Chain A
């Protein structure tokens, strides 16, 4: 299976899980972001461009099934994918703790970008409530879910680059 097909497959499965399973495992407003875990892994393995491209398409898919402004999640996730790509090669191969902590941080950044963009577009945003109710709980939840999910995606995508495989 070619590398690009693998990337498309991972992103599609992550999106399907996000749209079908995640709503049923939400705790309050906190939801794990499986698409973000996939995008972050793209960035960790192949750098900023892969992260950004994956982020754009993953975010766009999420925008298409939501009722909000089209492109908002796509833009937030593109930037997030690019940022995660800055950690290319430094994350993989280390212990599981580092990628999980980085994913939590990326999740916070992604959601702050989203809220900031929404605010710039004139949407009413209560930053305090957003951080307290959504951003931090969702980041923690995403980090928790990344513990089993990240190594799996990482292995799937890195099979042709064994030196980078997460162990």
Chain B
């Protein structure tokens, strides 16, 4: 009986001691200057550089270990991402191409609405394979209502005329072809002349009256004479005027606003404003 009471008392005392100890520890922990806290700080100050050093030595191995473990996964991811990246680059290129084509077609469509002529649009499929000719092959032929001799224009100005027609394709002789001649008039004075193409691709203004006052920048338009090109189409502007020792005629170069090497969509004039078929 005695021993049971003593044992219970001892247990209660031990429990109290533990509780007091816990409280005391908690108290000292919160005290900056406490022995526990100071010991803890001292320990951390000693251990942390060692931990840092060990970590810096071990971590590459750990990363290498991770790399070995996930290498296959990484290679697969990399392959997938590369493929995806390639597809996206291709897609962006495609979209850029469509964007620029869309812009060009929009300009051409606006021009088509404004122009007084009835026109048919066509796409350029090839340029001339020979150095001696300046031609375009377009994707519209007799089935699209195209006939030989029809005038070809772009939103910037005169391009040329149709010289050969098949069912689904046609050849267009550009105005810078050496066989090409376009009856023109000067925008300022109305004097008539002829714009001829040449081997080097420059446009020459010829047969202009000697006394004609002409300056660089003057507009040159089709005169409508000759029955192929309707009147008023922009051929170009005077770019250079010089004198030749071999000729009494002035040498006048015309600069076309159309870049014949890069033209990709054109309009073929099928009827004049009064509805008269050009051919």
Is this pair of chains taken from one and the same complex? yes
Residues of A near any B CB (own CB < 8 A)? 18-20, 22-24, 26, 28-31, 62, 65-68, 73, 111, 114-115, 118, 123-126, 129-130, 132-134, 138
B52 to chain A, nearest CB (A): 62
Q: Are B198 and A67 in contact (CB under 8 A)?
A: no
Chain B interface mostly: loop
Q: How far does the alpha carbon of A91 sit from the alpha carbon of B133 in the complex, in Å? A: 32
Closest B residue to A115 by beta carbon equals: B132
Residue from B126, B171, B173, B200 in contact with A23 in the complex, judged by beta carbons closer than 8 Å: B126
Provide 8 A-B residue pairs closer than 8 Å at the C-beta atoms, listed in order of the A residue.
A19-B126, A62-B129, A67-B173, A67-B177, A68-B133, A111-B131, A123-B178, A125-B199
Q: How far does the alpha carbon of A114 sit from the alpha carbon of B199 in the complex, in Å? A: 13
Q: How far does the alpha carbon of A126 sit from the alpha carbon of B178 in the complex, in Å? A: 10
A114 to chain B, nearest CB (A): 7
Q: Are A134 and B179 in contact (CB under 8 A)?
A: no
Closest B residue to A24 by beta carbon equals: B127
Q: How far does the alpha carbon of A124 sit from the alpha carbon of B163 in the complex, in Å? A: 19
Q: How far does the alpha carbon of A68 sit from the alpha carbon of B164 in the complex, in Å? A: 11
Q: Are B171 and A67 in contact (CB under 8 A)?
A: yes
Q: Which residues does chain B contribute within 8 Å of A118, judged by CB atoms?
A: 132
B49 to chain A, nearest CB (A): 66
Chain B interface, number of residues (Cβ within 8 angstroms): 22
- Known A23-B128, A67-B133, A125-B199; further 4 A-B contacts with Cβ < 8 A: A24-B127, A29-B201, A132-B200, A138-B131
Q: Is residue B138 within 8 Å, beta carbon to beta carbon, of the partner chain?
A: no
A79 to chain B, nearest CB (A): 16
Question: Which of B129, B200, B201 is most buried by chain A, counting CB atoms within 10 A of its CB?
Answer: B129
* Given A67-B135, A68-B179, A129-B129 contact (CB < 8 Å): no
Q: Is residue B130 within 8 Å, beta carbon to beta carbon, of the partner chain?
A: yes
Q: Which residues does chain A contribute within 8 Å of B132, judged by CB atoms?
A: 68, 114-115, 118, 134
Q: Which residues does chain B contribute within 8 Å of A30, judged by CB atoms?
A: 131
Q: Which residues does chain A contribute within 8 Å of B198, judged by CB atoms?
A: 126, 129
Give 10 nearest A-B pairs by CB, closest first.
Answer: A23-B127, A133-B200, A67-B163, A134-B131, A19-B129, A31-B131, A18-B129, A129-B199, A29-B131, A138-B131
Q: Which residues does chain A contribute within 8 Å of B261, judged by CB atoms?
A: 26
Type the 1/0 row for B18-53, where 1 means its CB is closer than 8 Å to any CB of A.
000000000000000000000000000000000000
Type the 1/0 row for B181-218, where 1 means its CB is closer than 8 Å to any CB of A.
00000000000000000111100000000000000000
Residues of B near any A CB (own CB < 8 A)? 126-133, 135, 137, 163-164, 171, 173, 177-179, 198-201, 261
Q: How far does the alpha carbon of A133 sit from the alpha carbon of B129 in the complex, in Å? A: 16
Closest B residue to A16 by beta carbon equals: B129
Q: Are B179 and A31 in contact (CB under 8 A)?
A: no
Q: How far does the alpha carbon of A114 sit from the alpha carbon of B200 in the complex, in Å? A: 16
A87 to chain B, nearest CB (A): 24
Q: Are A73 and B130 in contact (CB under 8 A)?
A: yes
Q: How far does the alpha carbon of A18 sit from the alpha carbon of B129 in the complex, in Å? A: 6
* Given A26-B127, A65-B129, A133-B199 contact (CB < 8 Å): yes
Q: Which residues does chain B contribute within 8 Å of A28, judged by CB atoms?
A: 201
A55 to chain B, nearest CB (A): 15
Residue from B129, B179, B200 in contact with A29 in the complex, judged by beta carbons closer than 8 Å: B200
Q: How far does the alpha carbon of A22 sit from the alpha carbon of B133 in the complex, in Å? A: 13
Q: How far does the alpha carbon of A66 sit from the alpha carbon of B177 in the complex, in Å? A: 12
A127 to chain B, nearest CB (A): 10
Q: Which residues does chain A contribute within 8 Å of B129, judged by CB atoms?
A: 18-19, 22-23, 31, 62, 65-66
Q: How far does the alpha carbon of A26 sit from the alpha carbon of B261 in the complex, in Å? A: 10
Q: Are B130 and A66 in contact (CB under 8 A)?
A: yes
Residue from B126, B171, B199 in contact with A130 in the complex, judged by beta carbons closer than 8 Å: B199
Q: How far does the alpha carbon of A76 sit from the alpha carbon of B153 in the complex, in Å? A: 33
